[in-house]
């Protein structure tokens, strides 16, 4: 991911965690349907996998291999797209693992961390990650429209 996207993603994640902590007493009383959230993230991962396979099996991706990235001249646009896909895959899998494996609450030195505290940051950050990713892909497709 490019630097501005990393900063934006980090800001969104930190702000959603902050909002969650500020309203922790209200969130603790909420009962989430974790299976629906996991399904939502899994469907997005499925779309990513489909997009990844279609894009990387097309002739268009070969033209991106010869175009240097604007942000980092050492890599091509093909490598930048691959990096976005990998980050999105890893973050989504990490999110699902947190929601699946984290117990209802953990008591750490008197501080009780409820599973509900992770729901809003995970959903918001996953959604933001995909919006950043789709925005980047659309810029590439519009910029290199006639070059395939």
CA atoms of 28 and 113, how far apart (whole Å): 9
pTM above 0.85, yes or no: no
Exposed, middle or buried, 122 (CB in 10 Å: 0-12/13-18/19+)?
buried
Q: What pLDDT, on the 0 to 100 scale, is given for residue 147?
A: 56
Q: What pLDDT, on the 0 to 100 scale, is given for residue 110?
A: 79
Q: How far apart are the first and last CA of the chain?
A: 23
CA atoms of 139 and 93, how far apart (whole Å): 26
CA atoms of 119 and 125, how far apart (whole Å): 10
Can you read off the two tokens belonging to residue 68?
């240097």
| pLDDT per residue of the chain (148 residues) written in tens, 0 to 9 | 677 878 888 888 888 888 887 776 666 666 667 788 888 888 888 888 887 888 778 777 777 778 887 777 888 888 888 888 888 888 888 888 888 888 877 777 877 777 777 888 888 888 888 888 888 778 777 776 655 5
| Distance of alpha carbon 65 from the chain centroid | 24
Domains of the chain, by residue range, sit at 3-143
Can you read off the two tokens belonging to residue 32?
């989430």
Among residues 121, 136, 124, 89, the alpha carbon closest in space to that of 17 is found at 121
């Amino acid at each position: 991911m490019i630097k501005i996207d990393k900063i934006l993603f980090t800001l969104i994640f930190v702000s959603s965690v902050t909002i969650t902590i500020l309203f922790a007493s209200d969130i603790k009383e909420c009962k989430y349907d974790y299976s629906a959230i996991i399904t939502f993230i899994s469907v997005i991962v499925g779309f990513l996998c489909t997009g990844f396979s279609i894009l990387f099996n097309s002739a268009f991706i070969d033209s991106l291999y010869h175009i240097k990235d604007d942000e980092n001249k050492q890599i091509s646009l093909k490598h930048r797209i691959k990096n976005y896909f990998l980050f999105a895959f890893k973050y989504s899998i990490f999110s699902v693992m947190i929601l699946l494996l984290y117990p209802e609450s953990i008591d750490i030195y008197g501080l009780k961390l409820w599973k509900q505290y992770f729901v809003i940051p995970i959903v918001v950050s996953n959604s933001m990650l995909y919006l950043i990713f789709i925005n980047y892909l659309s810029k590439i497709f519009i910029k290199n429209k006639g070059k395939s």
